[in-house]
Structure 1
């Protein structure tokens, strides 16, 4: 995978949103492709397209953690570290990017209506990058190989 920030910026220029970038990173790092999963992540974009809902960078990063540590088949169990990693990510995000303790898209963006997805992505790029880096750091700290993906 090329430089992470370059890849993220390219995905943004291609019209992918914050939450999609999170899963695209996991897919790229593990050498996988899953258009259905990437499309499904679109539902979390820009706070599920509501300024009153949780930021898509945060929810997408939680999904990225699940991509590595979640339950994927009936015979599997989620990794017991998943809730702790999500909790730590949420705490970090609230401290780093929350507005008055809130992590809603509108609160973070100052309720500035941004209808162009590419402009929204540009405005949120630093937050997207930091959140992605924090999620990857949490995975590595908890013993996950971000290039291997979920153990089978």
Structure 2
């Protein structure tokens, strides 16, 4: 059992989808919340409404990378590490999902775009852990609030 499994089950039971759960876990690590951001991630749920849409766990994880390294104000610049982190995350996810499910879409992972708790929850936990590792490996501190 992964250290995030209980929290993932709790959040899924409250009706949050994969992309929202990834960000919720990240904000919990920081001891903060952001209902507007969580609400916005609802747009990425279930392959963003398409059977051929990319898995929400990956989409939420990419958003988490952007949360730490993306441009947030006119004065900020995108951190140069973001492109590499996104590429590394995508390569990891593609390898995992292709080998286990035959693709990276919700339809491959959860046919009929209906979440499968055992499969989807585990994938969310793995994706979140991989994202934290990438952030740490590239010099970000996931427990510290993002530079807003």
How far the C-alpha of 1:122 sits from its partner, in A, is: 4.2
Is 1:65 aligned to 2:65, yes or no? yes
**Structure 1 residues 114, 70: closer, same or farther in 2, change over 3 A?**
closer
Deviation at 1:114, TM superposition (A): 5.0
**Which residue of the partner structure matches residue 76 of structure 1?**
76
Q: List alignment gaps of at least 5 residues for structure 1.
A: none
Q: Which residue of 1 aligns with 2:105?
A: 104
Aligned counterpart, 1:138? 134
C-alpha deviation, 1:65, in angstroms: 0.7
Query: Is the 8 Å Cα contact of residues 5 and 121 (structure 2) preserved in structure 1?
Result: no
* Residue aligning to 1:88: 88
* In structure 1, distance between residues paired with 2:61 and 2:72: 17
1:1-152 residue pairs with structure 2 within 5 A?
3-98=3-98, 99-100=101-102, 102-109=103-110, 112-113=111-112, 115=114, 119-151=115-147
The count of corresponding residues between Structure 1 and Structure 2 is 144
TM-score normalised according to structure 2 size: 0.89
TM-score normalised by L of structure 1:
0.86
Let me know the Cα RMSD of the aligned residues. Answer: 1.7
Inter-partner Cα distance in structure 2 for 1:125 and 1:47: 15
- Is contact 2:51–2:113 with CA below 8 Å preserved after alignment? no
Mapped to 1, the partners of 2:16 and 2:144 lie a distance apart of: 24
Helix, strand or coil: the match of 2:141?
coil
Structure 2 gaps, min length 5: none
Structure 1 contact 18–121 (Cα < 8 Å) conserved: no
